[in-house]
């Protein structure tokens, strides 16, 4: 088994010492490993170990999105919702891996496509959520939610819009007042705002929709200085241009997580 150990050497260089702790345990079990491999080497690995917190797991998840490589998150951070084990469980976790006493869980991902005049200009993918909003400013958005059963059009004036997977429902989504998802679905939340639609109650600020739903968003302010950003997992962002439409749906690829 070839194992890659990932840690964020840019934002959390202190995690190198934790990565070395993991390496020591792997050596005891005579397992091959290497640190933060180059893209050309990633396809050769059998398991990715993310050392740090949820931010590191998200980074690795996006890096491996097109590959069926399982991820094991080891929490050396704070909450570690996306991590399978805590730092004091490393030896026990690796013993279970060697004994093949684990399960592989597939996680839905999201894809946001920015379209201008019917031509895609850029895309972003996320494991947790795609958010659309301004930086310290109010935005005015039009959103059309197309489910397999019906279509709903609404406007949002406030901090913006969040579309979350089940995995991300306990992250930014819940902080914005969204629900925790216990099954494969999408949560759509008006962040610090409410949906404005005849089809919805005026007090509604969140929707739970099937994972096959398409969400189409356009900016209604027509103010170049106030155009919103599309943000994936809080890590990558694109500022939209005038006339852009954002299309959000379930991605074709998934992430694979190791669970005990």
DSSP 206-257: EEEEETT-EEEEEE-S--GGG--EEEETTTEEEEPPTTEEEEEEEEEEEEEE
Radius of gyration of the chain (CA): 20
Tell me phi and psi for residue 81, to 5 degrees. -60, -35
Q: Which position among 41, 46, 54, 219 bears the catalytic label?
A: 54
On the CB side of 244, how many CA atoms lie within 13 Å of its CA?
22
Which residue in 153, 162, 133, 171 sits closest to 216, CA to CA?
Answer: 153
Q: Look up 54 and say whether it is catalytic.
A: yes
Measured CA to CA, the distance from residue 134 to residue 132 in angstroms comes to 7
Instruction: DSSP letter for 176, please.
Output: T
Ramachandran assignment for 56, one of left (phi > 0), alpha (psi -120 to 50 degrees), beta (any other): alpha
Which residue reads 């959103």 in tokens? 143
CB atoms within 10 A of CB 23: 18
How remote is the C-alpha of 259 from its chain's centroid? 18
Measured CA to CA, the distance from residue 205 to residue 57 in angstroms comes to 29
Measured CA to CA, the distance from residue 235 to residue 59 in angstroms comes to 8
Cα angle 154, 157, 161; round to 5? 70
Catalytic residues: 54
């Amino acid at each position: 088994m070839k194992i890659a150990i990932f840690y964020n050497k840019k934002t959390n260089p202190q995690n190198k010492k934790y990565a070395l702790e993991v390496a020591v345990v792997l050596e005891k079990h005579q397992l091959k490993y290497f640190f933060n491999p180059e893209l050309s080497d990633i396809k050769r690995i059998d398991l990715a170990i993310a050392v740090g917190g949820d931010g590191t797991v998200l980074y690795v998840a996006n890096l491996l999105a097109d590959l069926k490589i399982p991820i094991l998150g080891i929490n050396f951070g704070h909450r570690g919702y996306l991590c399978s084990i805590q730092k004091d469980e490393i030896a026990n976790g690796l013993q279970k891996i060697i004994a093949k006493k684990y399960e592989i869980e597939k996680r839905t991902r999201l894809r946001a496509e920015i379209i201008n005049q019917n031509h895609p200009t850029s895309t972003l993918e996320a494991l947790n959520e795609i958010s659309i909003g301004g930086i310290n400013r109010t935005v005015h958005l039009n959103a059309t939610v197309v489910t397999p059963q019906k279509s709903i059009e609404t406007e949002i004036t406030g901090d913006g819009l969040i579309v979350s997977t089940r995995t991300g429902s306990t992250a930014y989504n819940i902080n914005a007042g969204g629900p925790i998802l216990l099954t494969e679905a999408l949560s759509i939340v008006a962040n610090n705002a409410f949906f404005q639609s005849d089809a919805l109650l005026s007090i509604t600020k969140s929707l739970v929709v099937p994972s096959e739903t398409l969400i189409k968003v356009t900016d209604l302010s027509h103010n170049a200085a106030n155009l919103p950003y599309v943000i994936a997992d809080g890590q990558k962002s694109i500022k939209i241009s005038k006339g852009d439409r954002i299309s959000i749906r379930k991605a074709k690829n998934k992430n694979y997580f190791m669970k005990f």
